[in-house]
Amino acid sequence: MSFAAVDRASLPALVPEILQSLADIVFEGLVVVDRHGFILLLNPHAAEVLGIPAESAHGRHFREAFCPSLPPDQCWVDFALMRGKPVRRHRFQVELPGGMRRTALANFSPIVDAGGAIAGAIITVDFENETYLLREEREKQKAILRSLAEGLFTVDTEKRITSFNRAAEQMTGWKEEDVIGLPCRDVLRCSHCEDDCPMTATLRRGKPIMDFDTEIIHRNGHKIPVCVNTTILYNSQGRAIGGVMSFRDYSKFHRLGDEALRQTAFHGIVGKNKRMLEVYSLIEEIADSKATVLILGESGTGKELVANAIQKLSPRRNKPFVKVNCAAIPDTLIESELFGHVKGAFTDAYSDRIGRFELAHGGTIFLDEVGDLTPPAQLRLLRVLEEGEFQRLGSSETIKVDVRVIAATNRNLWQMVQEGRFRDDLYYRLNVIPISLPPLRERKDDLPVLIEHFMEKFRRLTGKHIVDISDQAYDLLMAYDYPGNVRELENILEHAFARTRGNVITENKLPYFVRQPLTGHSDFVTSGLPEQDDEAERLRQALVQCHWNRSRAARLLGISRTTLWRKMKEYDLLKE
């Protein structure tokens, strides 16, 4: 057979526009030949198989393009054209640039003209095993998309939906088969679809958009707060063919967060640290008792929350619960506040007054900052604890009360006893069941749950959808020592919420003192470590103290971050 020039006039009839479009998007090599075996069309994937530009194959014979060393009378395509019957999975050798050969598989489908004659053929070509592997890879990718917890869909350049994963179906109430081909705005009805659509911006600018806060509308009409990410979708040749959007359901996130907090909270006390778990267990054990409880801990550690928990679990839960801040009452009035007075007991005592103990009869009284009681008040409190009775100021009448006492202080009462500033007999009466609360700096593992607890609290109070904290801000929160303990952490996050306008708290929204380099870390101890021999241990101590934040550790050690990184590498600390 002579390889005559291709009759180009037959191309429009043989390869209509729809076939050209199909050839460009299929993932298999696709070749169209005329009745003599000359190539009329070769798609990008077939050109990739050959390692040649598609244009250079046009007008060449199939044998000449794919297997030039094959004798002309042994071309399998010529034999197939003469037979005019389909061929399935034909195996043949493809010659690649540089002399390499690979086994390929081909499917041959003849094209018959209106008169019944063979006008050419459509041939699909791929390397052996690659068709199966490609199909398997596609199925794997589909399975991954279906299993993603985030909603995900793709659109073409006109923003018509081309795929819709299972999570997107569950979040929106739409099925994939119902939305394919529809504009995404008609499905999601996003609150920013008209004037600030993230997908439109991504397709126009060619840049991804991350963490875009908006709302979509479920198929049944209710609104869903979501966080959206968008990016460009490219084909295998690197050409932009549309966009990808993923979105997370914030309402679900909040519900999961609430459940997680419930699992780490104990009647309003948040924490899962080992020492806090011991406190929870102790509270449960002593709640039914009438014994006096002394809660010890620094200011802001949650002593009042512990008193509340004891009251909620006690048989007196439905009885009076009277709280007294002993430090907030002037010394001259503290006895009157606690035990009451009668008319004329002192200047300005114009009428009888019931004291806090009398009000708490049958229930519980919480004496916060009990270390601030005056000596006379300490003596009167001792009598109540020993005998369950007292007298109002200016009265000789004895009043019997049934009151459980829970006291709390941030002072060292035992030291005050030794210094003669607190009665030792009262100390022993109060210290029947001591509960010691650790400062926040000693339970840093509780910081994540405490941060989320207060984030959720301020989300509800402010109505802001602030759902995350930047890495830099989070590092600062984890490194800070919190001299004001949990109360100070709450104040810091309230401060950040008030200043944040987006949905992420960044470093510059934290209070100034939290952002100061190594505030509160001046107590770093390296004494006893030789300057050179134990340098690795000094580096490790600094890194542990700074929670492996290299920038802070470098400042603590007085060296640059680059020097620290080099020394970490030298002492094999990077893997830690």
Q: Determine the pLDDT at residue 562.
A: 67
φ and ψ of 94, to 5 deg: -100, 130
Nearest to 141 by CA among 109, 163, 119: 163
Give residue for tokens 């952002």.
Answer: 515
pLDDT at 102 over 60: yes
CA dist 46 and 124 (Å) reads: 8
Q: At residue 240, does pLDDT exceed 60? A: yes
Question: Residue 164 has what DSSP assignment?
Answer: E
**Predicted pLDDT at 440:** 93
Joined tokens for residue 295? 């809660």
What SS3 class is residue 214? strand
CA distance 369 to 411: 8
- Is 90 exceeded by the pLDDT of residue 282? yes
Domain parsing of the chain, residue ranges: 8-131, 148-250, 264-436, 440-515
| Axis crossing angle, helix 471-479 with helix 447-462, rounded to the nearest 10 | 120
Other CB atoms closer than 10 Å to residue 407's CB: what's the count? 28
The residues pairing with 332 across neighbouring beta strands, listed in sequence order, are: none
Question: What architecture is the 8-131 domain classified under in CATH?
Answer: 2-Layer Sandwich (3.30)
The first and second tokens of residue 396, run together, are 């000789």
* Residue 55 falls in which region: left (phi positive, over 0), alpha (psi -120 to 50) or beta: alpha
Helix axes 550-557, 561-570, angle to 10 degrees: 100
| pLDDT single digits (tens) 112-123 | 887 788 889 988
pLDDT in the model for residue 23 = 53
What pLDDT was estimated at residue 18? 46
Strands 468-469 vs 321-325: parallel, antiparallel or unpaired:
unpaired
C-alpha gyration radius of the chain: 39
| Residues in a beta bridge with 123 | 31, 108
Residue 456 has pLDDT above 80, yes or no: yes
CATH of 440-515, one of 1.20.140.10, 1.20.1250.20, 1.10.8.60, 3.40.50.300: 1.10.8.60
Answer yes or no: same fold for 8-131 and 264-436: no
Q: What is the pLDDT of residue 211?
A: 67
Q: Is the dihedral of CA 553, 556, 561, 563 positive or negative?
A: negative
Residue 132 pLDDT > 60: no
For residue 416, what pLDDT is reported?
93
Query: What is the C-alpha to C-alpha distance for residues 542 and 536, in angstroms, rounded to an integer?
Result: 10
Q: Judge whether 428 and 291 are in contact, CB under 8 Å.
A: no
pLDDT at 251: 59
Dist. CA 418–CA 414, nearest whole Å: 6
CA distance 353 to 215: 58
Average pLDDT across the chain, whole number: 80
**Beta-strand pair 504-505/468-469:** parallel
Strands 161-164 and 151-156: antiparallel
Could you tell me what percent of the chain has a pLDDT over 70? 80
Round to whole Å and give the CA distance between 23 and 44.
8
pTM: predicted TM-score of the whole model, two decimal places: 0.49
CA distance 69 to 83: 23
- Please tell me the predicted confidence (pLDDT) of residue 325: 92
SS3 102: strand
How confident is the model over 413-422, as pLDDT tens digits?
999 999 999 9
Please, which residues bridge with residue 351 across strands? Answer: none
Please state the rounded mean pLDDT for residues 116-131.
76
Using alpha carbons only, give the angle 359, 360, 363 rounded to the nearest 5 degrees: 150
Q: Is the pLDDT of residue 73 over 50?
A: yes
- Identify the CATH homologous superfamily for domain 148-250: PAS domain (3.30.450.20)
Alpha carbon separation from 438 to 241, 271, 427, 444, 525 (Å, rounded): 58, 11, 21, 10, 22
Contact 51, 96 (CB under 8 A): yes
| 319/215 Cα distance (integer angstroms) | 47
d(CA 111, CA 32): 9
Higher confidence at residue 316 or residue 16? 316
Contacts of 86 (CB under 8 A, 6+ apart): 107, 108, 109, 110
| 16-20, 174-178, 211-215, 441-445: range with lowest mean pLDDT | 16-20
Protein fold of 264-436: Rossmann fold (3.40.50)
pLDDT tens profile 150-193: 788 888 888 888 888 888 888 888 888 888 888 888 888 886 77
User: Residue 3 pLDDT > 70, yes or no?
Assistant: no
C-alpha to C-alpha distance for 489 and 495, rounded to whole angstroms:
10
Q: In whole angstroms, how far apart are CA 428 and each of 288, 499, 536?
A: 21, 48, 48
Q: What DSSP designation does 425 have? A: H
Chain segment 246-279, per-residue pLDDT in tens: 887 765 545 444 544 445 567 788 888 889 999 9
pLDDT of residue 550: 76
pLDDT at 134 over 60: no
Separation CA 118–CA 419 (nearest Å):
113
- Stretch among 132-141, 209-218, 382-391, 496-505 having the lowest mean pLDDT: 132-141
DSSP string, 104-120: EEEEEEEEE-TTS-EEE
If one counts every other C-beta atom within 10 angstroms of the C-beta of residue 273, the result is 18
- Average pLDDT for 9-29: 51
Quote the pLDDT of residue 308: 93
Predicted confidence (pLDDT) at residue 365 exceeds the cutoff of 90: yes
Please write the tens of the pLDDT for every residue from 201-234: 888 877 787 767 778 888 888 888 887 888 888 7
Q: Can you state the angle between helices 303-313 and 274-286, rounded to 10 degrees?
A: 40
**Integer Cα distance of 334 and 328 in angstroms:** 9
Higher local confidence (pLDDT), 497 or 59: 497
The CA-CA-CA angle for residues 288, 324, 264, to 5°, reads 50
